[in-house]
Structure 1
């Protein structure tokens, strides 16, 4: 491991595997949320439905309400079918974007991580669209309103994962860089630079909390909207 825990290096014979801190943070979050979901599930099974929820049951219920608020308007009657995957990723990305408050590297500041999530969302949209209507209907949809617009429609479809990736990456990375520059300036101007610590709570409040949660909301609102276009019944 390097002097700074920014990258974990695993030596596998003659091959060195470098794992960025952002991926390590995501791995830890996977373990934490897995434990949370298991414990919450057991508590919910034993909970008395006639009593007001409390503790971890109340937290789980509020998490469900938040996820439902993000997805239900887009997924409509299919919400419950896709809620497990969207719910898990929404909660984990929201938590991941808050890790900057602990001085850790946000997983979403890694463009490869964001691209992986965006491509998975894109493939899920295409797969379920074809599964519901069939490949012929999906191809026909890409040819609307005229056949010669097919290439442009394909480009529009491919633009979705690219847009999701770069929007999330740009906003989160910008906040990380600005915050890092402020701390570097404070350190270089010590002891006078200590005054700058008055500003840092507001930076974290905006970039780590407000911007992080807003970007999570936007990412999954768009993903659920385009999925809903393929699988939900039009009103």
Structure 2
């Protein structure tokens, strides 16, 4: 009887894998899979943007140029509607971040580990948002206005305002990271469970349907939310020096 019982396979979730390891003098350098995949994402985006942006004409005569103009208008409108006309200079950053986030989250479809499921990657984006927010506060209010903002509307708000400044990039980072990681884990569990109990079309069709949400929809919505929060934090960081 015991011979008929097959041991269950194991399912595990690991961190970024060590992809490349080499020595420089006495130091051992290890480049994680997240870094390698991000370079692949940058290469792909660079090629796509180069193709879309070359040989542009005043009058649109090709679908390629129409696609390029649509993307530019989409991000211009996105920044203008959220941040205001005077913040249009942030359009290249927001557009690049949006495209980079989506493609990074979709790399799992090609057999790679999504960089957006690596906390260190999203944390770097969150720190960038914090720096841009701090820069705008200092630019609009100076050091005096920035420090004064910590005690408004009342002096006892000082600890809460400090916590708020730190909590914004932390919550922004964890929201994006947790949603993408959860999607990867749930997707892995679905493949694992179907591999144990199902055969045929079910083992193909169910993961494909789930992928529409956990990969495609989730990648787009998380990129949109992260970029929207970045724009909101930066534009709302204005402070005056009265």
Q: Tell me which interval the TM-score lies in, with the shorter structure as reference length.
A: 0.7 to 0.9
Q: What does the per-residue CA deviation read over 1:134-184, in whole Å, with 9 as the maximum and x for residues that have no partner?
A: 111111122110112111101001001110111011100001011112222
Counterpart residue number, 2:165:
157
The partner residue of 1:54 within 43, 47, 63 is 63
CA distance in 2 between counterparts of 1:23 and 1:95 reads 14
Structure 2: unaligned runs, 5 residues or longer: 1-15
More deviation in 136-145 or 117-126?
136-145
Asked if the contact 1:71–1:79 (Cα under 8 Å) also holds between the matched residues in 2, the reply is yes
CA distance in 2 between counterparts of 1:102 and 1:227 reads 34
Corresponding position: 1:175 with 2:183: yes
Corresponding position: 1:11 with 2:22: yes
Q: Displacement of 1:203 after TM fit?
A: 1.2
Query: How has the CA–CA distance of structure 1 residues 51 and 27 changed in structure 2, closer, same or farther, with 3 Å as cutoff?
Result: closer
Please state whether the residue corresponding to 1:43 is helix, strand or coil: coil
Please state whether the residue corresponding to 1:50 is helix, strand or coil: coil
Provide the TM-score with structure 1 as the length reference: 0.86
Please state whether the residue corresponding to 1:33 is helix, strand or coil: helix
The number of residues matched between the two structures is 224
Counterpart residue number, 2:53:
41
Q: Displacement of 1:195 after TM fit?
A: 2.4
Counterpart residue number, 2:8:
none
Counterpart residue number, 1:25:
37
Structure 1: unaligned runs, 5 residues or longer: none
Q: What does the per-residue CA deviation read over 1:92-122, in whole Å, with 9 as the maximum and x for residues that have no partner?
A: 1112122222232111100010000100111
CA distance in 2 between counterparts of 1:162 and 1:113 reads 13
Please state whether the residue corresponding to 1:8 is helix, strand or coil: strand
Provide the TM-score with structure 2 as the length reference: 0.84
Asked if the contact 2:129–2:230 (Cα under 8 Å) also holds between the matched residues in 1, the reply is yes
- The structure having more radius of gyration, on CA atoms, is 2
Asked if the contact 1:7–1:20 (Cα under 8 Å) also holds between the matched residues in 2, the reply is yes
CA distance in 2 between counterparts of 1:30 and 1:219 reads 19
What is the RMSD computed on CA atoms of the aligned residues?
A: 2.3
CA distance in 2 between counterparts of 1:50 and 1:60 reads 13
CA distance in 1 between counterparts of 2:127 and 2:118 reads 14
Asked if the contact 2:146–2:239 (Cα under 8 Å) also holds between the matched residues in 1, the reply is no
More deviation in 6-15 or 26-35?
6-15
Q: Displacement of 1:186 after TM fit?
A: 3.0
Counterpart residue number, 1:216:
223
